[in-house]
Amino acid sequence: MTEELTTKRTSQWKDVWLQFKTHRGAVIGMIVFSIICFLVAFGPWFWTLDPNYIDIRAKNQGPSFLHPMGTDQLGRDTFSNLLAGGRVSLLVGVTAMALSVLFGTLIGVISGFFKRLDGPLMRLTDLFLALPLLPLLLVMIMLFRDTLRGLFGPETGIFILIVSAIGLTSWMPIARIVRGDVLAVKEREFVLAARSLGTHNTQMITRHILPNVMSPIMVSATLSVAAAIITESALSFLGLGFPSDFPTWGRLLYDSTNFMKLSPERVIYPGLAISLTVLSVNYIGDGLRDALDPRIRGR
């Protein structure tokens, strides 16, 4: 009798996975995203051509055995550039996501949990939502580019700048969602029970509130990776991202638009890489949203 019960019990995460598997787009997205991550992470070990190696005699070549995606106007290998660019783009996406989720969760939990801070923090969120984000991002990069370059070197400086600028301008939706959920969870009986046992505020938040608002945070985190990748490529595309010898997908796209007549396929590769990544991440987020919603999961 007891054995039967224990074999039937499935963990929550197994349920989530079972529901996730039924979402076809999410599974395909997961596979595509894993392939992209794998290629980007381990590709440079197998494809050892240096992305910055200039071979001017082999410039503007079409696809060949030596260069499967051809070469650019300075004879650099497009494929290895794409792999190296993917590392930066994905790293920017994940780091900016971490930053905005951190801000968003912090502000959301504080304003949902402490009634006194709710008003001011939500007004602050409203004000941030009223800012014109893309123009402000551009302005921030214009203003702080040289200083940060001087402080941390050209690549790390721009990386820090772009990641923190994206993080600072994308936490608001997460904060709103988290606040709403915290407000709902706070009224539940188990919180009252924990409170009457004498649980301290910090423990209350970390042990009881946070685990129960994890699912919207996870969904927003996934979707904000996609948004951050798009923002970074847009900045690079406008010429305000990383320096041009430091490839990212947006930068590669921007550089190859000047050679559209000569080698149109060079535009396609980085654009396709960005689009596939963002599409698969968005699908994963979609599937995750369904899988983490217990109302849908039962069906």
Residue ranges binding another protein (CB under 8 A): 25, 126-127, 130-136, 138-140, 142-144, 146-147, 226, 230, 233-234, 237-240, 250, 253, 257, 260-261, 264, 267-268, 271-272, 274-275, 278-279, 282-283, 286
> Which is closer to another protein, CB of 167 or CB of 271?
271
The three state secondary structure string of the chain is: CHHHHHHHCCCHHHHHHHHHHHCHHHHHHHHHHHHHHHHHHHHHHHCCCCCCCCCHHHCCCCCCCCCCCCECCCCCEHHHHHHHHHHHHHHHHHHHHHHHHHHHHHHHHHHHHCHHHHHHHHHHHHHHHCCCHHHHHHHHHHHHHHHHHHHHCHHHHHHHHHHHHHHHCCCHHHHHHHHHHHHHHHCCHHHHHHHHCCCCHHHHHHHHHHHHCHHHHHHHHHHHHHHHHHHHHHHHHCCCCCCCCCCCHHHHHHHHHHHCCCCCHHHHHHHHHHHHHHHHHHHHHHHHHHHHCHHHHCC
> Which is closer to another protein, CB of 148 or CB of 182?
148
Instruction: Tell the smallest beta-carbon distance from residue 240 to another protein (Å).
Output: 7
Instruction: Tell the smallest beta-carbon distance from residue 132 to another protein (Å).
Output: 3
> Which is closer to another protein, CB of 107 or CB of 209?
107
Instruction: Tell the smallest beta-carbon distance from residue 32 to another protein (Å).
Output: 12
Instruction: Tell the smallest beta-carbon distance from residue 162 to another protein (Å).
Output: 15
> Which is closer to another protein, CB of 160 or CB of 238?
238
Instruction: Tell the smallest beta-carbon distance from residue 192 to another protein (Å).
Output: 32
> Which is closer to another protein, CB of 47 or CB of 259?
259
Instruction: Tell the smallest beta-carbon distance from residue 94 to another protein (Å).
Output: 17
> Which is closer to another protein, CB of 261 or CB of 299?
261
